Amino acid sequence: MNLTFWQRLDLVMRGITPFFFTLVLVVLGQVPLHIPGFAEVAPLLPLMAVYHWAIYRPDLLPAIAVFTAGLLQDALSGMPFGINTVVFVLVHMVVMSQQMFFMGKSFSIIWLGFSLVAAAATVLTWLLTALFYSAFTSPESAFIQYLVTVGVFPLLAWLQVRWQQSVLAQV
């Protein structure tokens, strides 16, 4: 079947939505919410997108796209360049290597997987930050941030599954 130009354009536009979605999450994560104590422990939203798309549609969020999202996260959050970048890329790599395992698993397994991946990502970020500044940052707020991130995951996962089933169904 030959697709018309507009149909092809439509597919391309739909196809880039996961990447766009991830970038939007990076930017959304920067918005000050004025909730007492929240800023220190705000969830790392883009990590959820990296995890989700690496399992279900890695073709739509390739490693180079993850790398770009990490760079944007570093640039906007004021963290040293490269830290979130390397964490995101490694998360993508690890999840991709376990893709076969995750396929068709129930949501609780996916969530458990995320909790493990996010734990590793938090420890790695903490270690890299400590190395970069040659000083240890408080592990408590990193731990609470991790818990908040894992807690918010189901909501975002649901949104992403919805998106995948509607907008990306034909892509």
Partner 1 sequence: MASRFGYLGLVLAAFALMLLGKADVEVMEKVRSTVSDTIAPVLEILSRPATAVDQVVDDVTQMANLRNENIRLREENQRLIEWQSAARKLSSENQQLKGLLNFAPGAEPGFVSGRVVADSGGAFVHSVLVSAGARDGVSKGQAVITGDGLVGRVHAVGSRSARVLLLTDLNSRIPVVVEATRTRAILAGDNTDRPRLVHMPPGATVSAGDRIVTSGHGGAFPPGIPVGVVALVGDSTITVKPYVYRDRLEYVRVVDYGLQGILDSNFAAEGAGVIK
Binding region for partner 1 (CB under 8 A): 27-42, 44, 63-64, 67, 70-72, 75-83, 85-86, 89-90, 92-93, 96, 125-126, 128-129, 132-133, 135, 137-138, 140-142, 144-145
Shortest reach from residue 90's CB to partner 1, in Å: 7
Q: Which is nearer to partner 1, 13 or 28 (CB)?
A: 28
Least separation in angstroms between CB 80 and partner 1:
5
What's the 3-state SS for 117-129?
HHHHHHHHHHHHH
Smallest distance, partner 1 to C-beta of residue 82, A = 4
Residue bearing tokens 């830290």: 83
Q: How far is CA 108 from CA 80, 102, 143, 164, 165, in A?
A: 34, 11, 21, 19, 19
What's the closest the beta carbon of residue 91 comes to partner 1, in angstroms?
Answer: 11
Cα 111–117–122 angle (5° rounding)? 120
Residue 9 or 155: which CB sits closer to partner 1? 155
Cβ-contact 149, 111 below 8 angstroms = no
Do residues 90 and 118 make contact, with C-beta atoms less than 8 angstroms apart?
A: no
Of residues 40 and 111, the one with the C-beta less far from partner 1: 40
Q: Which is nearer to partner 1, 121 or 168 (CB)?
A: 121
